[in-house]
Amino acid sequence: MLCEMRQVNGVVTPRRRHPRRTGMVRDLYRVEGIAVENSQDLEIKFMSPLDSGAAVVLDRLISSKPLDPEQRLAWARYLLSILFRNPDSVETIKTHMAEIWR
């Protein structure tokens, strides 16, 4: 179970949810209006490498192993990316990406 945090009427409330019942937006990072082969570039070329680096670091953190400077940087990148991983921010990023591609 995951702990989902939701803001309702200005009050943040936690609740336990199954992973399939929370936080899922299908094709969240797909950019419409550009070539199909490039429509998932945000996920494939940016988010996936961030997540892969963070997974390695998380394993090290869980096993209490020290992090080298590159691993610390990978973790910091991942944490900063969390600020932008919501539908509103992703929509803004996708709009800018589509403009750049055009």
In angstroms, how far is CA 95 from the centroid of its own chain?
17
**pLDDT, tens digit, 9 for 90 and up, residues 35-55:** 889 888 888 998 899 999 999
* pTM assigned to the model: 0.66
Distance (Å, rounded) from C-alpha 18 to C-alpha 27? 20
Q: What would the mean pLDDT of 64-74 be, rounded to a whole number?
A: 97
Q: What are phi and psi of 13, to 5 degrees?
A: -125, 135
